[in-house]
Amino acid sequence: MSETSAFLLLDVAGVACALARTSVSEVLPLPDLHAPPAGGGPFAGFLNLGGRPVPVVDLARLLGLRTDAARRGAEEAYRHILLDAPRGTGFLVDRVEDLITVEAAALRPVAAERTLNGCVVAEIARDDGLVHVLGLARLLTAEERARLSALTDAAAERLAALSAV
């Protein structure tokens, strides 16, 4: 990382987290997602991005911070989807709160073995406590990525079949 780095500050089920700004291509308000019955777990559904299905993962459920699938309608209005830089996966968060610039001295590295798949790469020391910096590429395991890819391929085939009619 450079002397200063930009991070998106997130609320994930009441836990302050951050993502490097360069790992996110776009922040979107929460649209209606198509949730096929074969989903489940942290899979929230598909976002239709220009006719291409993009899987969306509920970050709070993935990290074990929330187990309930139901959300109150009033809370839905503030949720956001973060598209990863390749625009292949979306991550649902409760809110993107801010874009912050952090001095390198305020970052504390976290050993990869301290978190599942090394998903927490650093912590940001702030006046109000520590903020976990998530490594977007490390949030999903290889098996989770493979399963999402299979679901996405099936959804794309269904869309292609409909457009041929």
- The tally of CA atoms less than 13 A away on the side-chain side of residue 60 is 22
Which amino acid makes up residue 56?
A: V
Per-residue pLDDT of 102-161, as tens digits, reads 988 889 989 888 888 889 999 998 888 889 999 998 999 999 999 999 999 998 898 888
Cα 70 from chain centroid (whole Å):
18
- DSSP H helices in the chain: 59-62, 73-76, 142-163
What lies within 8 Å, CB to CB, of 118 at 6+ separation is: 112, 135, 138
Global model pTM greater than 0.75: yes
